[in-house]
A = this chain, B = another copy of it.
Amino acid sequence: MRDDLSLLKQGALHLRSSSAGQRTRMLELLADSIEANTELLLSENERDCQEHAHSLAPALAQRLHLSREKVEALVAGIREISRQPDPLGAVMSRTQLDQGLTLEKVSIPLGVIAVIFESRPDVFFQVLGLSLRSGNGVVLKGGYEATHSNRAMYRIAREAFAHNELPAEWFTLIEGRESVSELLKCDDLIDLVIPRGSNEFVRFIQENSRIPVLGHAAGVCHLYIDRSASHGQAVEIVLDAKTQYPAACNAVETVLIHEEIALEFVPKLATALQSAAVYLRGCARCEEILGTVDRVGDDQWGTEYGALVIALKVVPSLDAAIAHVNTFGSHHTDGILATDELACARFTDLVDSASVFVNCSTRFADGYRFGLGAEVGIGTGKLHARGPVGIEGLLTYKYILRGSGQVVSTYSGCNPRVFRFKRLER
A interface residues, Cβ below 8 angstroms from B: 13, 16-17, 95, 97, 101, 103, 110-111, 191-192, 212, 230, 233, 236-237, 239-241, 244-245, 326, 344, 346, 348-350, 352-361, 363-365, 369-371, 381-384, 386-388, 396-409, 411-412, 419, 421
* Docked-complex contact A369 and B409, CB < 8 angstroms: no
A352-B111, A405-B236 in contact; A399/B370 too (CB < 8 A)? Answer: yes
Smallest CB separation, A92 vs chain B (Å): 11
The answer to whether B356 touches A399 (Cβ under 8 A) is: yes
Given contacts A110-B383, A212-B382, 7 further A-B contacts (CB under 8 A): A17-B350, A97-B370, A191-B383, A239-B407, A363-B407, A369-B408, A386-B396
- Report the Cα distance A357→B245, complex, angstroms: 51
Q: Given A383-B192, A419-B371, does the pair A405, B359 have CB atoms closer than 8 Å?
A: yes
B382 touches A386 (CB 8 A): no
CB <8 Å contact, A95 and B383: no
Q: Are the C-beta atoms of A191 and B396 separated by less than 8 Å?
A: no
Knowing A240-B407, A360-B101, A409-B240 are in contact, say whether A399-B384 is a contact too (CB < 8 A): no
**B192 and A357 contacting across the interface, CB-CB below 8 Å:** no
Cβ contacts under 8 Å, A350 to chain B: 13, 16-17
Option from B17, B97, B384, B387 in Cβ contact (under 8 Å) with A371: B97
Q: Are A403 and B370 in contact (CB under 8 A)?
A: no
A363's partner among B95, B357, B360, B408 (CB-CB below 8 A) is B408
Contact among B236, B354, B396, B398 with A399 in the assembled complex (CB-CB below 8 Å): B354
Main secondary structure of the interface of A (DSSP, over half): mixed
Per assembly, the copies of the chain total 2
Q: Does B400 lie within 8 Å of A358, measured CB to CB?
A: yes
User: Is there an interface contact between A407 and B361, defined as CB atoms closer than 8 Å?
Assistant: yes
- Would you give 16 A-B contacts (Cβ < 8 Å), ordered by A? A13-B326, A17-B346, A97-B364, A191-B382, A191-B383, A236-B405, A237-B407, A356-B399, A356-B401, A357-B401, A357-B402, A360-B401, A370-B399, A371-B419, A371-B421, A387-B398
Q: Give Cα A402 to B348, complex, Å.
A: 10
Which residue of chain B has its CB nearest to the CB of A359? B403
Q: Are A405 and B110 in contact (CB under 8 A)?
A: no
Report whether B396 and A383 are in contact in the complex, using a CB–CB cutoff of 8 Å.
yes
Q: Please measure, in the bound complex, the distance between the C-alpha atom of A357 and the C-alpha atom of B401, giving whole angstroms.
A: 5
In the bound complex, do residue A408 and residue B359 qualify as a contact, i.e. CB atoms below 8 Å apart? no
A95, B367: Cα distance in complex, Å: 13
Task: Answer whether A384 and B386 are a contact pair too, CB < 8 Å, given A95-B370, A360-B403.
Answer: no
Q: Give every chain B residue within 8 A of A349 (Cβ-Cβ).
A: 16-17
Contact of A408 among B16, B244, B384, B419 (CB under 8 A): B244
Closest to A370 in B: B103
Contact B364 A406 (CB under 8 A): yes
Q: Are B406 and A361 in contact (CB under 8 A)?
A: yes
Shortest A134–chain B CB gap in Å is 13
Q: Which B residues touch A411, using CB under 8 A? A: 369
In this complex, which of A245, A354, A356 has the most chain B Cβ atoms within 10 angstroms of its Cβ?
A356
Docked-complex contact A353 and B398, CB < 8 angstroms: yes
